[in-house]
Each structure stands twice: as structure tokens, then as C-alpha cells.
Amino acid sequence: MIRRAAMPAFLAAVALTLTAGCSGGGTAAKPGEPVPVDDRQSPAAVKGETLEGEQLDLASYDGKVVVVNFWASWCGPCRAEAPALEATYQENKDEVAFLGVDIKDTRDGAKAFVRKYGNSYPSLFDPEGKITQSFSSVNPGALPTTLILDREGRVAVQFPGMVSKARLDPALAKIVAER
């Protein structure tokens, strides 16, 4: 009897914990909406090895708007959004940089994902989630998550969950238009 009576409270506590863990993080704006400039935060130093084994430093994109997508080959929504991300990259690559961060994955799985979905922008390989921790102020640990960084490298927009081209394109245009 006591166990049965405690079950609703236990389930409520679990639901609250899961909701907090999957929230959009610490941005001061609704998902997909620009964060007010004064509230934007820069991630810690972000650098690592790409899927191809080359070193890449986010600082090399200084002065450019950057779309950062956190993904994994085993993530269904990541697979679903991959074509939209590639299409947006192809349309904007002269003005906007794209960077994937493959987390908690195998290199072989990640490379197969890139081949299958044709992603032509680089992805950092982050099997232990260390690079992801550099963005802890916005909690991109839930997959997928897509961020738009402004020209100063600050998180300007966050999309927790799967992003569509219809949502990404206008948000990206707003940040590109900032000077």
C-alpha cells in the first residue's frame, strides 16, 4: 500500500528531472528566436579532431556566423534533419560556416552517416562529450541541438530538438543581417 501511494510522487519527480535535463538550456530567448545581444554567451575554447582526423578550432571562423549542429549517427531526429542542414549550408556557405559535433558515437558510425546524408561541412568527433561541455551555458547535450553563433562567436539562437529548413533559414538570416 505504501509503495502504491508513493508511486505518483515518484513519477512526478522523474518527469520533472527529465524535463529539466531536456530543456533548452540557459538562453534568454525562446527556441529558434535570437537571444538579446547583451545576454549572449561565448562557449569555452572549442577545438578538436574532425571525423577525418584533422585538427579544427572554432576560433578559425572568427568574424563569421557559424551554425553548430550536435548530432550522432544513432539519433533518428538527427538523420531526419541532416538533408535540411546540408541544403541550408549549400545555400549559405559563402557567408556562413557550418560545423557538426558528433557526440557519443563511433567514428565508423559517424563516417557512414556523413556518407549516407552527404554532409559536406566538417564535424568534430566528440565520443566522450568533452567538446559539448564547452557549450554548457546552453546545454546542447540533448540530440539533436543546433546553435547559431554570431560574428563574435556568441550563441545567438538555439534550436533544441530537430530543426527544419523553414525554421533555420529565417533565424540564420536575422543573425547574418546583424553587423
Q: Which three cell numbers stand for residue 76?
A: 533518428
CATH of segment(s) 2-177: 3.40.30.10
Share of the chain above pLDDT 90, in %: 72
- Active-site choice (75, 131, 143, 148): 75
Domain locations in the chain as residue ranges: 2-177
| Catalytic status, residue 22 | no
CA torsion, points 132, 133, 134, 135, in degrees to nearest 10?
70
Give pLDDT tens digits for 75-87.
999 999 999 999 9
In the predicted structure, residue 29 carries a pLDDT above the cut 80:
no
Residue 134: count of CB within 10 angstroms of its CB: 18
pTM: 0.83
Please state whether beta strands 55-57 and 145-149 pair in parallel, antiparallel, or not at all (unpaired): unpaired
| Catalytic status, residue 78 | yes
- Active-site choice (78, 85, 131, 163): 78
Q: Which residue has the cell 568574424?
A: 63
Residue 20: count of CB within 10 angstroms of its CB: 9
The predicted structure's pLDDT at residue 158: 94
Give pLDDT tens digits for 51-94.
999 999 999 999 999 999 999 999 999 999 999 999 999 999 99
